[in-house]
Amino acid sequence: MFLLYEYNIFGAFLLISSLIPILAFLISGILAPSRKGPEKLSSYESGIEPMGVETVFLYPWAMSFDVLGVSVFIEAFIFVLILIVGLVYAWRKGALEWS
């Protein structure tokens, strides 16, 4: 026999776990100060101009290459190839020229 009341704890857990993040976002939106300025609207708030350091994300892969094998090498090669194609596209469109 299927007893629906045994699932009440699951429903309560689902309700509470859904309400907690919603309430957290609502409360922080109400209480947090919202001062917008040029520093907040920039990509980095430290004031330092961003530099190209995306290659640092390849370091963990390079350190564990001997464990991962050839298939991961091929996947990483395709990933880097896609990044290079995107860089060439942006370069040709003039998106990398700053005044």
Q: 63-82, pLDDT tens digit by residue?
A: 787 788 888 888 888 988 99
pLDDT of residue 27: 93
Residue 44 lies in a domain: no
Secondary structure element (H or E) that encloses residue 11, with its range: helix 8-31
Distance CA 30, CA 12 (A): 27
Say if 42 falls within a structural domain.
Answer: no
Q: Is residue 45 part of a domain?
A: no
Q: Is residue 99 one of the residues assigned to a domain?
A: no
**32: DSSP letter:** S
Q: How far is CA 74 from CA 12, 81, 84, in A?
A: 47, 10, 15
In which domain, by residue range, is 25 found? 4-34+52-93
What is the chain's alpha carbon radius of gyration, rounded to the nearest angstrom? 24
Kindly tell me if the per-residue pLDDT of 30 is higher than 70.
yes
Give percent above pLDDT 90 in the chain: 26
Is the pLDDT higher at 91 or at 34? 91
Q: Binning pLDDT at 50, 70 and 90, where does residue 20 land?
A: very high
Domain total of the chain: 1
DSSP 41: H
In a domain, 12, yes or no: yes
Residue 18 pLDDT class (50, 70, 90 cuts): very high
